[in-house]
A = this chain, B = another copy of it.
């Protein structure tokens, strides 16, 4: 099943290209014309019938042309597609990325850029803070019973939060505590800071037990803190431009799904171990997305996995362009994040 002869491959590719191009079932004649093979439409028809038998193409009705199946697209992306982003797209993306000054917003910038360039929807996770390295902690006394804890990571991220302490604290003690914790946690990834690690310190400074415990909980459950593991999405309205989603009742479930953050995280998560990952139509775990294809790629920060970015579009997607673009952008982003902060 996996070894199609060259001509079948060529024909499948041609059908897919034609269908991607104008969203209409393609007939044998178009293919015969398009492929500069010296074969007649009848031959093409035979081959197409075979491809249908194999599950790569399908038939809306008797006298219609062929349409690729998810299976066909899968074969296509696995073995047939290969393309680099054009120089034009590269510079366009570069310019987009260069524009962003505030590093906290890089994920949004990337999402916008992807959406504009591809004309599909784009999804980007912000660099995951759990992977960043702890660098510094400082307790700042606010009132006699209120303390602000501020954490700085190696990527320059600053996060803070207020804590209540039961006993009045003198500033000197807080400074000592700050220094102690800072030294102890130096170099750990945020995700690695566990209860045990803090427990050690509690021994040395019993009276601060409560604040340390609360801080730990903050560090770990900080889950929804601004600009955190948030997922940014942009260009969802682009989906409505696709003819397969011209009927709102088809598009509605898709857009609804894309409003749910867990769904988006799921989409990107599968890409984590790989270079680029494509999920096509029925391969989706989430039912409402069965009409779409997602192309996703992870990016790094200082060599460590930091997040992922992707594209959501119709299964009839410009795979060549999108895959190379996503790969390229993930690479660029990794570079930028590794150099700058």
Q: Name A's interface SS.
A: mixed
Digitize A236-262: 1 where CB-to-B-CB distance is under 8 Å, 0 elsewhere: 110011000111110110011011000
For chain A, the count of residues having a C-beta within 8 Å of the partner chain is 38
A235 to B148, CA, bound (A): 35
- In A154-183, the 8 Å CB interface with B consists of 156, 158-162
Q: Which residues of B contact A256 (CB under 8 A)?
A: 237
Query: Is there a chain B Cβ closer than 8 Å to A150's Cβ?
Result: yes
Q: Which residues of B contact A152 (CB under 8 A)?
A: 140, 142, 148, 160, 162
Give min CB distance, A307 to chain B, whole Å. Answer: 15
Decide if B246 touches A246 in the complex (CB within 8 Å).
no
Query: Is there a chain B Cβ closer than 8 Å to A87's Cβ?
Result: no
Q: Which residues of B contact A255 (CB under 8 A)?
A: 236-237, 240, 255
Q: Which residues of B contact A315 (CB under 8 A)?
A: none
Decide if B140 touches A150 in the complex (CB within 8 Å).
yes
Q: Which residues of B contact A252 (CB under 8 A)?
A: 237, 240-241
A274 to B104, CA, bound (A): 34
Q: Which residues of B contact A237 (CB under 8 A)?
A: 252, 255-256, 258-259
Query: 4 tightest CB-CB pairs across the interface, nearest first?
Result: A158-B160, A226-B227, A237-B255, A240-B248
Measured CB to CB, the residues of A under 8 A from B are 102, 104-105, 135-136, 138, 140, 142, 148, 150, 152, 156, 158-162, 224-227, 234-237, 240-241, 245-249, 251-252, 255-256, 258-259
